[in-house]
Structure 1
Amino acid sequence: MIMKRSRRVHEKKDGEDDENTVVCNILRLPEACLAHAISLTTPGDACRSIAVSSAFQAAASSNSVWERFLPPGYGSILARADHPVDLTSTMKELFCSLAQDHVLLDQGTKSFWLEQTSGAKCYMLSSSSLGIAWRENPLYWRRTYLPDSRFEEVTELLAVCWLEVSGKIDSGELSPDKKYSAYLVFRLLNESCGLDCPTQQGFITRDGEIVSAKRIISLHPQTTAQEAAAESGDEQGRGRADEEVSITTVSVSYPRERDDGWMEVELGEFYNRQEDTGILAISLIEHVQLHWKKGLICEGIEIRPKK
């Protein structure tokens, strides 16, 4: 038994020596080779590899690694910034800055940032850049300012029957071979109404062809119709609510609160292939039942990778 245990210990030490030899051999690689290998991973992997050794730390922090994580053509995008972006910092610092905060582009009509884990391009189209039916009529919509918005102005719905909001972006502005989702970013006023109509739809087209399934969009947070009927003591209404929920809520998109205090609701999703070209149009419409709607403050439409 003692002999066997000694053999096992000896074999384990031999294995450890082999492992140490491999590690030592990797550390003998030139920094450029290590950097190239790390650049084939992800920003998260690069940050974790820093803890391996001082050689990995130097390679994983190099400009060659982080420039690869930055999207192609990032320079031309940042050239459209409303305020100059510091390009004299390291590529890692630039990546982290773009992943942590947004940059306003094109006279404040878009904001741009990078998705932290992949470096994919993300945008928000400001409400001022959206196509909104009847917006120029002051009886229906008005432009206003909110201090916690990233844009200089937001758009408030005063009263409409015909609701139509749409934003457009070129497929080439997005990262290729990524699945994206589009969200309406908004806020509701206390007197809001009519924004959960079952004929209110969200969808996405590319050059007129639908690329996402149409879905029912409610701008009011999800609550059960049964609870509302129970609070009013309406037994008959409760039965109607049960029936309505079973029919309509299967494909309804409901909003959720964001970390920045705004709300968002998903309008659709799509895959942006390398070879895809054309203009993407993201739409929210309701012109079937034509119920009166009011109390919506629209900040914009956000387009970011689907998690």
Structure 2
Amino acid sequence: MLTIEERIMMLPEACVANILSFTTPADTFSSASVSSVFRVAGDSDFVWEKFLPSDYSRLISSSTHQSFSSKKELFRCLCESILIDNGRKIFKIEKLTGKISFVLSARELSITWSDQRHYWSWSHRSDSRFSEGARLIMTDWLEIIGKIQTGALSPSTSYGAYLIMKVTERAYGLDLVPAETWIKVGNGENKTKTSYLSCLDDKKQQMAKKEEIFGYYRREPEMREDGWMEIELGEFETGREGNEEVVMSLTEVKGYQLKGGIVIDGIEVRPKSQKLSC
């Protein structure tokens, strides 16, 4: 009598491909070592189209990548991230889960007074994949807002939104008054948090540690693998269906504190379990 393993090995290629299409990219990659049937089935367009976003044709048409020999090759390309929508967004899917991430460039954001040269400066940056970033010269009213639709993201997934930024050597006024961060989905309520725009120097860090003893915790930007820093704006859940607008915000408008010297690269929206560097 044949064992279960032997019976599985005898399944037709089309049947194996259908089974793999209900698994995950990670399972499909690893199944190639099971047998030649699984390897061939795991390379089929039928399987990998199931792991691609439903609007992948539009994504590819709006990027510089136009030709692919197979759906598996296309999937691998999207795992490396691509620029879309005239270079104003980065799209990426996570290799093992197929979850979707986006980075909205600074040009995709609403930044108060960013069109005024004495407040903000736009220029090309060699450390960014986007064509330009926004550098704050001086303001006492900082307001940055980004928007994305839940329908563009993976369903039933917990997401976080992160402002990608850097602090220049001549920055000032960033560690005195905390900014407010929040996310709002559809008509839901937004939960506000606070975060400073720069990290403290050694002397100020010692003072902050003493404050933590009394229950005060100071949120600051965190380093990313790509050399930039990020501030978490908040988190949200996508539903199984529907398409609601997600509004992501960072503001510092209450203290009337003059500040300058931060560079805005964009806002990244990624599954909470991931840490990406695009």
Does TM-score exceed 0.5, indicating one fold? yes
Q: CA deviation at 1:247?
A: 4.3
Matched position secondary structure for 1:296 = strand
- Seen in structure 2, the aligned counterparts of structure 1 residues 33 and 220 have a Cα distance that, compared at 3 Å, is same
1:47 matched to 2:29: yes
Unaligned ranges ≥5, structure 2 = 274-278
Structure 1 counterpart of 2:18: 36
Structure 2 counterpart of 1:57: 39
Count of residues in correspondence between the two structures: 273
Once the two structures are superposed, what CA deviation does each residue of 1:161-216 show, in whole Å capped at 9, x if it has no partner? 111001111222112111111111111111223323454111111245335x3221
Match of 1:142 among 105, 121, 134: 121
Once the two structures are superposed, what CA deviation does each residue of 1:37-66 show, in whole Å capped at 9, x if it has no partner? 122111111111111121211122221111
Structure 2 counterpart of 1:256: 222
Match of 1:166 among 145, 148, 152: 145
Question: Any conservation in 2 of the 1:111–1:123 contact (CA below 8 Å)?
Answer: yes
Structure 2 counterpart of 1:234: none
- Seen in structure 2, the aligned counterparts of structure 1 residues 108 and 49 have a Cα distance that, compared at 3 Å, is same
What TM-score, normalized to structure 2?
0.90
Match of 1:95 among 45, 51, 75: 75
Residue 111 of structure 2 aligns with an amino acid whose one-letter code is I
Larger radius of gyration: 1
What TM-score, normalized to structure 1?
0.82
- Seen in structure 2, the aligned counterparts of structure 1 residues 189 and 54 have a Cα distance that, compared at 3 Å, is same
Residue 66 of structure 2 aligns with an amino acid whose one-letter code is V
Structure 2 counterpart of 1:85: 66
Q: CA deviation at 1:294?
A: 1.0
Residue 243 of structure 2 aligns with an amino acid whose one-letter code is T
Q: CA deviation at 1:244?
A: 6.4
Question: Any conservation in 2 of the 1:127–1:155 contact (CA below 8 Å)?
Answer: yes
Instruction: Give distance in 1, aligned partners of 2:249 and 2:261.
Output: 19
Structure 2 counterpart of 1:268: 234
Q: CA deviation at 1:138?
A: 1.2
- Seen in structure 2, the aligned counterparts of structure 1 residues 85 and 245 have a Cα distance that, compared at 3 Å, is farther
Structure 2 counterpart of 1:8: none
- Seen in structure 2, the aligned counterparts of structure 1 residues 44 and 126 have a Cα distance that, compared at 3 Å, is same
Residue 145 of structure 2 aligns with an amino acid whose one-letter code is S
Once the two structures are superposed, what CA deviation does each residue of 1:62-114 show, in whole Å capped at 9, x if it has no partner? 21111111111211222222x2422x3111111011101x2222222211111
1:191 matched to 2:170: yes
Once the two structures are superposed, what CA deviation does each residue of 1:2-53 show, in whole Å capped at 9, x if it has no partner? xxxxxxxxxxxxxxxx7x6211111111111111112211111111111112
- Seen in structure 2, the aligned counterparts of structure 1 residues 74 and 197 have a Cα distance that, compared at 3 Å, is farther
- Comparing both structures, which one devotes a greater share of its residues to helix? 1
Question: Any conservation in 1 of the 2:178–2:197 contact (CA below 8 Å)?
Answer: no
Deviates more, 1:141-150 or 1:196-205: 196-205
Unaligned ranges ≥5, structure 1 = 1-17, 232-237
Question: Any conservation in 2 of the 1:181–1:268 contact (CA below 8 Å)?
Answer: yes
Matched position secondary structure for 2:47 = helix
Structure 2 counterpart of 1:298: 264
5 Å matches for 1:215-294? 215-221=193-199, 228=203, 238=207, 242-243=210-211, 246-249=214-217, 252-294=218-260
Matched position secondary structure for 2:266 = strand
- Seen in structure 2, the aligned counterparts of structure 1 residues 245 and 145 have a Cα distance that, compared at 3 Å, is farther
- Seen in structure 2, the aligned counterparts of structure 1 residues 69 and 195 have a Cα distance that, compared at 3 Å, is same
